[in-house]
Structure 1
Amino acid sequence: MRQPLLALLAILAVLSLLWPRATVMPLSSYDQRFYLGIAYDLRQHGTFTDGFSYAGGGPATLRPPGMRFTPLYPAFLATAASFDPGLRRGIACVEATAGRDPGCPLAAPVARGAQFLMLLAFYWLLWIAIAGAMGSRRAGWIGLGTGLLAAPLLLLSVNTLMTETLTLVLSAAACTLAASAVRQPAATAWRTWLATGIALGLAILSRPAFLYLLYASLGCASLLLIRRPANRPAIARGVAAFATGAAMPVLPWVLRNAIVLHRAALSFGYASHTLVQRIAFDAMTPREYGLSFVCWLPDGSGLGRLIAGRHACDRFGWDEHADSFYSIGNGALMRQTLAAAGGWPHHMNYLVHHYLLAEPLRHLLVTIPLALRGLYVDHWWGALLAPFSLWAMLRAWRDRSSAASAWPVLLLSMPPWFLLVFNAAVAVNQPRYNLLLVLPFALAAALAVERRLPRHGGATLPPAVS
């Protein structure tokens, strides 16, 4: 236990040194008002609603139950506010001003303190995951040191009252547990697969995109069942435990939605809302498509202006320009498609049939620069490590039948990369959606360095079980 404790203390020291320097954004920034509004209704009326942003009204409004957002993060904020008068004042101000006042009280020591501990847990899981996957604690330290270079960025998420930090630690726990499960004897691994499913299920309750990671994981597991008949009983036990674990936190929420709102689903409305914002980018001209690769580089707007003129990158921004793709998707295209579809219940089907299936190649091509945009976690840090991570993942895929260490590397790498591409296909992708990439990026750095060092130089863990 000495080295894990040392790792924990080292992480605590680094994060404690950096945290006071991290910016605290106004509660009116980004999507914080969505979650704070739901937390207000949860505290005042004990009801999960769609919040003032989508259900309207003011502080005295008794809003109906809703399911536009998943419940875990609003519940976290409501619980934190029970112990935190500063956060209660901030939530009340956001509710009273419809989230438009940048001067709302910022104090939220309980919520941000809890998110700090979540980030501490994430980095500890990163150390454990890399050390375990490579059978070397030295590799764990190399990966941890590399990952901590991104700590200033992740601490911004700690100070922002949105889902990023919670989903980061839950998804990292799922990846770490999965990488551990494949190194365990088949007779006992089902317990770890059950825990893996629970962690992923909680991540799904924080951000619905993780539901598609569950679908992809079960699809891959089904292929393994077909292709590996000799291992079929062990694989089936693991898959059953994993699926059961994921269902445990998710099904109660789906049942609530079925009973209260007559819709047996995880959420309603927000998926098509984000998809239409994404579809707006498919209207790029060939010139704009080429510019997107430049403008979405880390600090690429300046380079884009230098190459193509002062306003070259304006359309790739947010709502600061009325003709930006985001503004169009969030405004005119949203209204047009909602009217044509006949409302939210039919919006997703309308978008799929009239846009995605109508021009799949165009959508696929635009997904490429949007994936690159989300890849640049912590600017050039992510841009530099991404090729190493992709190489490590592809090499592990090649060696998956012969090397026991290949599967842990794959299970730490493939989920973040899958989510990167998925986010680029269905949303206006950005680095904060892809913070989990810190894990495979740090792993890739550890692999690259560890293979060039003498084997006897690091304390080793027990070898992987094939």
Structure 2
Amino acid sequence: MADRRLLAVRTTKVGIVLVAFLVLGLSILSRPDWKLRDFDQVFYVTIAYDLDRYGVFSDGIFDPVDSSVQPAQPGMFFGPVFPAMILAVMNLDQRFAEAVRCSVDSNRGHRDESTCEAYETPIRILSAALLAIAVAVVGFAAELIFRRTQWIFLFAGLFATAALASEAHIFSFVMTESAIFAFYSVFAWTLLRALIAPAAVRFAIAGAVLGLLCLTKPSFTALFPITIAIVVFFGFKIAKIPRNLIGAHSVMFAATFACITGPWMARNYVSIGKFSLTNEYASAALVERFAYDDMTPQEFLLAFPYCAPGIGDLLFDKVYGTDSMHRFVFHTPASFFHNGRDRRDALREQHGELDPLIGRLVHDEMQTNWWRYLLVNIPLAWCGAWPGGIVTLLLLPLFIASLLQAVRTREPLLVLYAVPAVLMLGLHAAVGNHYTRYNLILIGPYSVGAAWIICSVLPYGRWRPRFLASEP
């Protein structure tokens, strides 16, 4: 009986993951075929083009040379993981490779864009696979946090699938969102495993996955010190393990993180002369963020209904930006996004680089607008807190209820699971903008918290807090 029950549970989990793959795959594939020059796709496909043609990781469209006619120069603005994934798909699918080459050549005036095929199918299938893996680890995280019930994996997986399917539009582009969500979800799960059943190898795996995440999007390096703080806090206050073990686990996590990110930083030093993950990335984002400090009191207040899923779509024009909130629509000429981008481009054209200027720019902004900067973070964080669209109208209230319940019952794992994603929400409000695509990682904690609350009211679904795992 026990073997049959275990088989049924495993079959159910496999079924949920397959359903997630099919639902997400069909949702993404049903979107229109985009030209590879649309949106931010051009950044990544151009780097993949240069890797394919010259074996050089470049800055893509920001490269000072035309790599269609002369060798690309080394760059480090973007992380290497996603362009490498595009290159791998190009090597597997020559039709996609030709679409990339044609798009890059047309973008530089060497071909007619109308002759280029809008073909992204292999990347879209890869995105669906990555997201299905993420759905699985969200379910596993729910099981780690709470004692297993008949339903916790099921509900966490279905909630995550529904929220991700609502974001199928952004996943239909050749961009980093699916890879980021997958790497982050795996990182959060492996960190939970390491905390619950401490072992050096588990902390090593968590450090390695975080390293890959940071090589996909450099802003996630902010999670390195946060994770070390979580490891120390959990070891001292919750697990109460010896100090030498806490130190060893922290060192192991840091060492594997360095093993993943270190070679890329060494490459940057050798090729470009800068020992860092990226160049200009943070400075460019912060310059663009300062444009939002021009927000009026009316825009500040209206941002709350504007960004609420469903409500904002009914009350405001989010497509063409013809109303009082037009500056929140990125493509309108006077939008916050364009104002920030124009200032960034002007500074770069005048001075060449932003990194040497950023200290003075931050000082000047904080000296005159510090209070506006702090206040504007509030609506930007509110707007970014709704990944998953209309589905999140259900998930977010349940997630908040689950956090309150976790605090009341002194259940630390759900809180610790949510902390990195919530802190990244604050970081993106402080240095980014209001778009939910930067905060898709919140879908994992939202889904786990909502699943916990739902399971608590189901027959045979009573939840029981789990402070430490009874099994590895």
* TM-score greater than 0.5 by the shorter chain: yes
Does residue 433 (structure 1) correspond to residue 438 (structure 2)? The answer is: yes
Is 378-387 or 283-292 further displaced after alignment? 378-387
Residue 222 of structure 1: CA displacement?
5.1
Q: 1:345 to 1:416 in 2, by over 3 A?
A: closer
2:3 matched residue in structure 1? none
1:279 matched residue in structure 2? 290
CA distance in 2: counterparts of 1:200 and 1:398, whole angstroms: 31
Does residue 68 (structure 1) correspond to residue 80 (structure 2)? The answer is: no
2:146 matched residue in structure 1? 134
CA distance in 1: counterparts of 2:270 and 2:322, whole angstroms: 54
* One of 184, 192, 196 as aligned partner of 1:171: 184
Residue 111 of structure 1: CA displacement?
2.9
* One of 448, 456, 462 as aligned partner of 1:443: 448
Residue 56 of structure 1: CA displacement?
4.7
1:97 matched residue in structure 2? 106
Q: 1:53·1:98 contact (CA, 8 Å) conserved in 2?
A: no
1:19 matched residue in structure 2? 25
Does residue 292 (structure 1) correspond to residue 303 (structure 2)? The answer is: yes
Gaps of 5+ in 1: 401-405
Q: Which amino acid aligns with 1:370?
A: L
* One of 151, 159, 173 as aligned partner of 2:172: 159
Q: 2:63·2:73 contact (CA, 8 Å) conserved in 1?
A: no
Q: 1:421 to 1:251 in 2, by over 3 A?
A: same
Is 11-20 or 452-461 further displaced after alignment? 452-461
CA distance in 2: counterparts of 1:298 and 1:284, whole angstroms: 21
Q: 1:198·1:249 contact (CA, 8 Å) conserved in 2?
A: yes
Q: 1:197·1:243 contact (CA, 8 Å) conserved in 2?
A: yes
2:135 matched residue in structure 1? 123
Q: 2:293·2:376 contact (CA, 8 Å) conserved in 1?
A: yes
Q: 1:17 to 1:296 in 2, by over 3 A?
A: closer
1:411 matched residue in structure 2? 416
Aligned-residue identity in percent? 25
1:260 matched residue in structure 2? 271
CA distance in 2: counterparts of 1:428 and 1:227, whole angstroms: 35
Equivalences, count: 454
Deviations 1:300-340 (A, max 9, x none): 2551469xx95211111112x22111111111x22454478
1:86 matched residue in structure 2? 95
2:209 matched residue in structure 1? 199
TM-score by length of structure 1 reads 0.88
Q: Which amino acid aligns with 1:263?
A: K
What secondary structure, in the 3-state scheme, does the structure 2 residue paired with 1:160 have?
coil
CA distance in 1: counterparts of 2:350 and 2:90, whole angstroms: 41
Deviations 1:74-121 (A, max 9, x none): 111111101111211121122112289587423244433322221111
Is 1-10 or 112-121 further displaced after alignment? 1-10
Q: Which amino acid aligns with 2:133?
A: A
CA distance in 2: counterparts of 1:146 and 1:64, whole angstroms: 44
Q: Which amino acid aligns with 1:134?
A: F
Deviations 1:145-177 (A, max 9, x none): 222222423544443211111111111011011
Does residue 32 (structure 1) correspond to residue 28 (structure 2)? The answer is: no
Residue 413 of structure 1: CA displacement?
1.2
Gaps of 5+ in 2: 1-5
Q: 2:27·2:168 contact (CA, 8 Å) conserved in 1?
A: no
Root-mean-square deviation (CA, aligned residues, Å) is 3.0
CA distance in 2: counterparts of 1:224 and 1:183, whole angstroms: 9
CA distance in 2: counterparts of 1:276 and 1:211, whole angstroms: 19
Q: 1:305·1:312 contact (CA, 8 Å) conserved in 2?
A: no
Q: 1:37·1:53 contact (CA, 8 Å) conserved in 2?
A: no
Residue 131 of structure 1: CA displacement?
1.7
CA distance in 2: counterparts of 1:8 and 1:90, whole angstroms: 34
